[in-house]
Structure 1
Amino acid sequence: MLAPATFFKRRLPAALAIGLLVGPVLGACTPDYSAPGGQIAANDQCSSQRSQLTSIGDYFNQAMIEGAIAGAALGALTGALLSGGDLESTLAGAAIGGVAGAATGYYTAKQEANSDRTVLVGGVYKDLYSENQQIDRTTAAFRAVRACRTAEANGIRADYRAGRITADQARAKLGDVKSKFEWEVKYAEEVGGKMNDRGEQYTYAATEISHFDSRTRPPETRSATSYQVTGPIKELVASKSTRVRELPSTDSRQIGGLKAGEVVEAREVTGTNGKWMRVRLADGTPGFISASLLVTADKYRGETKSVASRAEPQAAAPPPQSAGGVVQLAETNQIKQRALQDDVSESRTMLSSTTFELDQPITFTPVRPLRPSA
């Protein structure tokens, strides 16, 4: 056995190497402001929306690395102890620990800190609920950026039509807006990836906690469902009061409802034979409704009322702090992560369409603000 002083002297190079190994992980999602579209001028119309998006994204970047670092550190220490302290085994232990930490590090750390099951469940629940709210904020921030860039492109076209700028000036401005939005979409994709990785850690934790209560089933993995959301966003009207479900299936859990005359954003869902459409509730939460219950405004006889997404989603009442509540939040977060992926995918379509071209109309309609209640 090495003396403590000798052990730590020999560990120092390994620790530095581990730092170099983990360092790229820490910086993997740092915004690259030197990339095309990454630099924001002081007069950028959408600078506040981008700042909001990147500030929220930092939450997921920081939260994601904690489990991996803990796993890498534990793996390095184990490798060093078992191998007698050589650098190769220490680094191998760090690599293995980092992989394990990415999947189980969060729950392992929580479990070691809270031996009491009630405290453990409460701690995971609190983290999941915070994650839930942060996903909502990220989605709202990205949608705000997208609406702002769309409005900016519309304004440039309006200036050209009014003769305030030349065609070349308009095309240059539109190209600049597109470049900035490409950067923002890429950033949102990276944040979404980190968000999903984090979700895997929470799903693992929820699965372990579900074993505490025989009445609680483990969480289902929702991110790999077979459906795809495609086609343009449409504003449709609920022809009558109806349920909104978590997934495109009558067996799926009900998460809300629409009243007759309420207007929602809707997109077609493939893989369902045209039977379902994805909609958004008033707080921005995605859900699914039978396509036969949605009609265009001109076909609805009666007064309509918009329930389009608010800029700042209102969080729904949380489930109880229990094993079942942990599972429910973990599943809800998966669905919300999928909704952000859909938003980013829609935005990728915008970038490859005529949205930022001078001589073509906008192909994406920004979300209308919710009308104030009487």
Structure 2
Amino acid sequence: MPRRMPPPSPSFRARLRRGLAMLTAAAMLAGCVTTRDSRIGSDAGDSCRTQLVALDSTGNFFAADMLRGAAVGAVGGALLGGLLAAATGQRGSGVAAGAGIGAVAGGVVGGTAGYLSARQQQATDQASLNLAVANDLAAENAQLDRTQVAFDQLMDCRFNTARQIRAELGAGRMTRPQAEAAMAELRNWTQRDIQLATTINGQIGRRGAEFDTAIETVAPGVKQAAAAPKPSIPARPRATVPLRLRPDASSPEVARVPAREAVTLRPGRDGFAQVETASGVRGYAPAQAFPEAARLPDAAPVAAQGGDVRSLAASNIARRDNFSDSVGTATRLAEGQGFELAT
């Protein structure tokens, strides 16, 4: 008959608790080692610095919550693994190994399906689960709105600065070498901005994958409907039409489409269509500038029409897609003609 091992001593249990605390701290700090200066620099003379700091600040929400969820999963798994090992009479390395295995398993759950699992465990019935997810989606949507506004304002500042440099060159208040140097610096700043936005977009996407799992449970069919590809149609404008960075008449102009030039239209919003030129430049123009736009279906509004979980889920998906589209449009413009001296 195997000899029963004595339970772990109080001092060992204390060491285990300290180890778990260190594990928790390490998990929560693992993605927080960067500083603001390392992410966005400390450039003097950047006239868009205020907007850049605002965008960086909104990213904290998405990063912090993801790390916290992973840490909770890891700690829960470590506790379970350690307790199971101790309960079976293991000592020392056996308990430590059990905690380590549990932490790995817990981290996987916390990082991929932890959100839905946690909400299901807390809910007493389907109605309470729907309400909890709806509340979380409403909070997420509000933060997505703040991030979208911050990015829009930053890009507006960058592209308006590019327009001012062209104007200064055209008026003779800048020499061409001065204008080229100023535009090169502006392009570098903008590419760094886009790298930051791309990082935030990745964080939003990882959180979105968690929400998508929950959405399939509480609002089946919403995700599939949102994933349907946007229709596109060929078109030619009646007259020369400016392309804007966003579907907003006050947004910076990024290009012009001559009359009768062949373009591709996709559904936009707020009376605008998304336009892509033959060279790959994308922007927004009033849909009424294109006779063919009448054949485009209306895009779903971003704002939720009510607080039910289905409309909140649909608008959450739309907000994520819109931010990703905004980052993609800015990326293409920064790599192409958006920061050329002559447009």
Q: Same fold (TM over 0.5)?
A: yes
Q: Distance in 1 between matches of 2:164 and 2:157?
A: 10
Q: Distance in 2 between matches of 1:38 and 1:230?
A: 42
Aligned to 2:244: none
In the alignment, structure 1 segments of 5+ residues that lack a partner are 211-216, 237-261, 266-273, 287-292, 301-312, 320-324, 362-374
Q: How does 1:126-275 map to 2 (within 5 A)?
A: 126-210=135-219, 217-221=220-224, 225-226=228-229
Q: CA deviation at 1:2?
A: 2.1
Aligned to 2:37: 33
**AA in 1 matched with 2:139:** S
Say whether residues 1:353 and 2:336 are aligned partners.
Answer: yes
- Contact persistence 1:71–1:105 (CA under 8 A): yes
**AA in 2 matched with 1:318:** G
Q: Distance in 2 between matches of 1:32 and 1:355?
A: 27
Q: Deviations over 1:46-76 (max 9, x none)?
A: 2232232222222222222232121111111
Q: Deviations over 1:310-342 (max 9, x none)?
A: xxx9945424xxxxx323322321122112111
SS for the counterpart of 2:31 is: helix
Q: How does 1:50-89 map to 2 (within 5 A)?
A: 50-84=52-86, 86-89=95-98
Aligned to 2:297: none
In the alignment, structure 2 segments of 5+ residues that lack a partner are 1-6, 87-93, 240-248, 254-262, 275-285, 293-300
Q: Distance in 1 between matches of 2:41 and 2:190?
A: 9
Q: Distance in 1 between matches of 2:18 and 2:55?
A: 38
- Contact persistence 2:27–2:67 (CA under 8 A): no
SS for the counterpart of 1:25 is: coil
**AA in 2 matched with 1:203:** D
Q: Distance in 1 between matches of 2:174 and 2:157?
A: 20
Q: CA deviation at 1:151?
A: 0.7
Q: Distance in 2 between matches of 1:143 and 1:326?
A: 27
Identify if the C-alpha distance between structure 1 residues 351 and 228 changes in structure 2 by more than 3 Å, giving closer, same or farther: farther
Q: Deviations over 1:175-204 (max 9, x none)?
A: 221111111111111111111211222222
Q: Percent identity?
A: 28
Q: Distance in 2 between matches of 1:32 and 1:183?
A: 13
User: CA RMSD of the aligned region, Å?
Assistant: 3.8
Q: Deviations over 1:328-363 (max 9, x none)?
A: 3223211221121111111111121132233x22xx
Identify if the C-alpha distance between structure 1 residues 263 and 142 changes in structure 2 by more than 3 Å, giving closer, same or farther: closer
Identify if the C-alpha distance between structure 1 residues 337 and 149 changes in structure 2 by more than 3 Å, giving closer, same or farther: same
Q: Distance in 2 between matches of 1:342 and 1:96?
A: 35
Match of 1:19 among 16, 25, 37: 25
- Contact persistence 2:24–2:71 (CA under 8 A): no
- How many residues are paired up? 290
Aligned to 1:10: 16
Q: Distance in 2 between matches of 1:263 and 1:315?
A: 20
| Higher-Rg member (1/2) | 2
Say whether residues 1:278 and 2:267 are aligned partners.
Answer: yes
Q: CA deviation at 1:11?
A: 4.2
TM-score (ref. length: structure 1)? 0.65
Match of 1:336 among 313, 319, 337: 319
Q: Deviations over 1:132-153 (max 9, x none)?
A: 2222222222122111101101
Q: Distance in 2 between matches of 1:285 and 1:114?
A: 42
Say whether residues 1:326 and 2:314 are aligned partners.
Answer: no
**AA in 1 matched with 2:68:** E
SS for the counterpart of 1:355 is: helix
Identify if the C-alpha distance between structure 1 residues 140 and 201 changes in structure 2 by more than 3 Å, giving closer, same or farther: same
Q: Distance in 2 between matches of 1:235 and 1:338?
A: 30
Identify if the C-alpha distance between structure 1 residues 97 and 82 changes in structure 2 by more than 3 Å, giving closer, same or farther: same
Q: Distance in 2 between matches of 1:334 and 1:89?
A: 39
TM-score (ref. length: structure 2)? 0.71
- Contact persistence 2:267–2:273 (CA under 8 A): no
Aligned to 1:258: none
Bigger fraction of residues in helix: 2
Match of 1:97 among 92, 106, 112: 106
Q: Which runs of 4+ in 1 moved over 4 A?
A: 221-231, 262-265, 313-316
Identify if the C-alpha distance between structure 1 residues 198 and 235 changes in structure 2 by more than 3 Å, giving closer, same or farther: farther
